Structure 1
């Protein structure tokens, strides 16, 4: 049997005491941590409950908190947009109307918008902006807005990016290279593909043509650039569509017959030979730069709303 000396026994006893003290300390620390956590969670829960009750009772305080949260979220969103290199710039200087929901338009304009939207399969929201602009510009220059819309319909079928083989561009199919100066106020030649800019320039060209010819039919002939023929095919298409749109605007029944314009070809003059109108000068005057319009028979099924 092995016996321990007194120093060894004391050393072993001391080690055991230290170990027990450490275990006791760890146990106390664990129990303290658990108690603190429980108390903390209880306090947090009590605080949240008190906050909810306070916000429920005091509506003004709740409103202030909601506004602060909304402001914080808006600031985060704005900062995220600024930090995003792919974000589109906000051009606040452009105050033109991009879309105009038909319900917000006057009755006549809303009816025309809905009818044109169904016939040409164009979204009514952006089309409403074009209708509103046609009425506004037409009133300013004393030109029937339904005639403006009819020219637009025959020329491009309301496609703002239409382009003819000879370079006529946009809604009104203006020959941009000839009328570059008219786009100066709108930022240059590329404005030909901006719907409202193209509409305004096209109306100016049409107004000049009518003034020069002395009649709407003669103005349309100059607008289409007819030189070797009388341009009656184009004129009849525009005038028929003009009567349809006008009937919709006035709430009248859709016409089933239309006047036919015929005239002998006028001799070409040096002024006419110069292409001053749309891009149809170098192509048959009866053709249009966009696809052919819907036949009149198809329109009889469409009535104004």
Structure 2
């Protein structure tokens, strides 16, 4: 997986497929809100994210009409640390804090299931896509965590459509499982991240160092002490 580049034609196709998937179930409806507010947050000024040109004439869904606010939708519960990370990421990447909440909640839940630091998952998202849910690389890596579908169908599910990884919550879950796979195969975080980045043969471990540098910035934003950061 390499740093994401976004193409307008794939954005249009992916957006349609993504919207169709998100009408099913309360969890996926949260992703619809993320898409709507993500688009709205890029309408003013020069945004960091490369979707600006594609979204320049988009119209945000009114908040009171968004399916996320359905009574059946699950409540989002971010930890105090992740709330501070949310605010930092929103400022740094110029993405709506509300749009980030379901993504960060998915990162916390998925990370805790496999026993890793949730900030590691958020760091990978930052490095891979800069929080762009429609990012796609030239080798076909998709979504927030830039997962290549053909390599991870066992984690995605055979019933999923070809654009399933443009669903932010599914993408985060699958990406976290790829990290877990690397840990189980290779036994160390450095090796797991180099595996994730498709750079196991790199003697400089540049991908690992890039992710860990981002994780350190997130830990600072989260308000962790130096001791806690060293132990995480």
Calculate the TM-score normalised by the size of structure 2. Answer: 0.64
Q: Does 1:202 align with 2:175?
A: yes
Equivalence for 1:161: 134
Residue 90 of structure 1: how far off its partner (Å): 11
Match of 2:3 in 1: none
Pair 137,185 (structure 1): closer, same or farther in 2 beyond 3 Å: farther
Equivalent of residue 217 in structure 2, options 244, 254, 262: 244
Which residue of structure 2 lines up, in the alignment, with residue 112 of structure 1?
Answer: 85
Assess, with a 3 A threshold, how the Cα gap between structure 1 residues 188 and 230 changes in structure 2: closer, same or farther. Answer: farther
Corresponding position of 1:175: 148
Paired residues for 1:273-288 under 5 Å: none
Q: CA deviation at 1:186?
A: 6.8
**Structure 2 partner of 1:125:** 98
Q: Does 1:235 align with 2:208?
A: yes
1:92–1:121 distance in 2 versus 1, CA, 3 Å: closer
C-alpha change, 1:159 and 1:94, in structure 2 (3 Å) is same
Partner of 1:94: 25
Q: Which residue of 1 aligns with 2:192?
A: 219
Are the aligned partners of 1:111 and 1:248 in contact in 2 as well (CA < 8 Å)?
yes
Distance (whole Å) between structure 2 residues aligned to residue 91 and residue 156 of structure 1: 20
Name the CA distance, whole Å, in 2 between partners of 1:89 and 1:161: 15
Query: In 1, Cα distance between the equivalents of 2:117 and 2:159?
Result: 24
**The residue matched to 2:123 in structure 1 has which SS?**
helix
> What secondary structure, in the 3-state scheme, does the structure 2 residue paired with 1:189 have?
coil
Could you list the per-position Cα deviations for residues 211-237 of structure 1 after superposition, in whole angstroms to 9, with x for gaps in the alignment?
211111110011111144235221111
Q: Aligned with 1:109: secondary structure?
A: helix
Q: Does 1:137 align with 2:68?
A: no
After TM superposition, what 4+ stretches of structure 1 lie above 3 angstroms from structure 2? 88-93, 97-101, 103-106, 250-253
Q: 1:231 to 1:192 in 2, by over 3 A?
A: farther
Which consecutive unaligned segments of at least 5 residues does structure 2 have?
Answer: 1-18, 35-67, 69-75
Contact 2:112 2:118 in 1 (8 A): yes
d(CA) in 1 for partners of 2:159, 2:91: 31
Q: What secondary structure sits across from 1:160 in the alignment? A: coil
Do the aligned residues in 1 keep the contact of 2:129 with 2:146 (CA within 8 Å)?
Answer: yes
User: Residues 174 and 202 of structure 1 are in contact (CA less than 8 Å); yes or no, is this contact kept in structure 2?
Assistant: yes
After TM superposition, the score normalised by the length of structure 1 is 0.49
Contact 1:170–1:198 (Cα < 8 Å) also in 2: yes
Task: Report Cα offsets for 1:112-165 as digits up to 9, x if no partner.
Answer: 100011111111111111111111111111111000000110011011111111
Higher relative contact order (CA 8 A, sep 6+): 2
**Which of these two proteins has the greater Rg computed from alpha carbons?**
1
**How far apart are 1:248 and its partner, in Å?**
2.1
**Does the aligned pair in 2 maintain the 1:150–1:242 contact within 8 Å?**
yes
